[in-house]
Structure 1
Amino acid sequence: MKKFIVIDGLDGSGKDTQVNLIAEVYKKQGRDVTIRSHPCCDNKYGRKSKQSLLKEGKINHIKATIYFGLDAIRSVQMFCYNKNTDVVIFSRYILAVMYLPNGVNTLVYKIVNFILPTSDCMFFLDVSPEESLRRMDSRGEETEMFENMESLTKNRQRSQKFTYNWNVIPADDSAEVISEKIVSKCLESDKLLS
């Protein structure tokens, strides 16, 4: 049976680090692993989402979210139903809807949560805005529209209404401590499925 894992969280929460750590666990088991980190640069939706994220304003805010959604849907179609891989790990997935205007975001979340695949291995890395900014500053990358104290604080609060069916992991800890919690839950889930 195909294993579907999602690592989501605010910018700087350690998503890509955790995706790579969990991928290594499954690769060591001899499993075929596919990683999708959204927005992806291998298609027009992901590239347009990234371009919009590097700009300011409400229009770019909405464009970034819509293109992100199309990018994630494309990944689901291409990889979740692909018989050549048995572990699919997504970095960022449906929680991007929290960036849509209030009210709309709740409705869209309910729809995509119903339509798109979910699993018991969906993790939200709950990082404090201060730690998030510290990590982003150390990366030396171009700043995206949501990468500031005000947006991080607001979006962390917003995320709470969407993570009721997620495994919420405190993410100010070290990568190793966070990984241990995620791996433990995923391996426990594997035992229940076998």
Structure 2
Amino acid sequence: MKFIVIDGLDGSGKDTQIDLLAQYYRNQGKNVVVRSHPCDDNKYGRKSRQALQKTGKFNHIKATIYFGLDAIRSVRKYSHDDKIDVLIFSRYILAVMYLPGVVNTITYKIVSAVLPTSDTMFFLDVTPEESLKRIGSRDEEIEMFENMESLTKNRENSKKFTYNWNVIDGNQSIEEINRQIIDRCTEYD
């Protein structure tokens, strides 16, 4: 099974790239499963999403814990299914960047040692300004981390964790980002 992760700040284009990548593999006759966290098909994902729609430290911690449980559930349920050719995760282990202080670094080291990783993990690096512009164009409720201060902080935090990721400039065109992702993925086919 090919395991692909696409992550990035809100508004970085994760869903767009996942849709394009999934279609690319489906056009080859591959069985593709996409897990975009937090997922709405289980209680952990729903509780994470509910907490993200609120504010405050308690909801911040709640959102992160439930998010982690949702991702772990996805790994357990889908990563050993022989019928799946390509498993694509959106928002996976980089959610730890939302944790405070050094807790995020320690948690990342533990989580990345326990959960599966691959050579096809992508971080779409978009400026906070571009991220906010894209978020503003969506018809969705704003989440607790979708503001300039949080986006700036989280982009800086992400640099501590993406040293072994494929970092792609998310400010480029959709087509160019997609080409870079597919090029990297096909290196490992």
Give me the TM-score of the superposition, normalised by structure 1: 0.96
Matches of 2:81 and 2:24 in 1, distance apart? Answer: 21
Tell me if 1:99 matches 2:103. no
Give the aligned CA root-mean-square deviation in angstroms. 0.6
Matches of 1:70 and 1:80 in 2, distance apart? Answer: 15
Alignment of 1:10-89 (within 5 A): 10-89=9-88
Matches of 1:102 and 1:31 in 2, distance apart? Answer: 41
Q: CA deviation at 1:148?
A: 0.5
Matches of 1:130 and 1:151 in 2, distance apart? Answer: 12
1:67-123 deviations in Å (ceiling 9; x for gaps): 000000000001111122110000110000011111111111001100100000000
Q: Which structure 2 segments of 5+ residues have no match?
A: none
Matches of 2:156 and 2:146 in 1, distance apart? Answer: 15
Q: Specify the alignment match of 2:8 in structure 1.
A: 9
Matches of 2:103 and 2:56 in 1, distance apart? Answer: 18
Letter of the aligned partner of 1:87 in structure 2?
V
Matches of 2:144 and 2:100 in 1, distance apart? Answer: 15
Q: Specify the alignment match of 1:119 in structure 2.
A: 118
Give me the TM-score of the superposition, normalised by structure 2: 0.99
Matches of 2:57 and 2:183 in 1, distance apart? Answer: 40
Q: Which structure 1 segments of 5+ residues have no match?
A: none
Matches of 1:184 and 1:92 in 2, distance apart? Answer: 21
State the identity %.
Answer: 69
- Give every structure 1 segment of 4 or more consecutive aligned residues whose post-TM-superposition deviation is greater than 3 Å: none
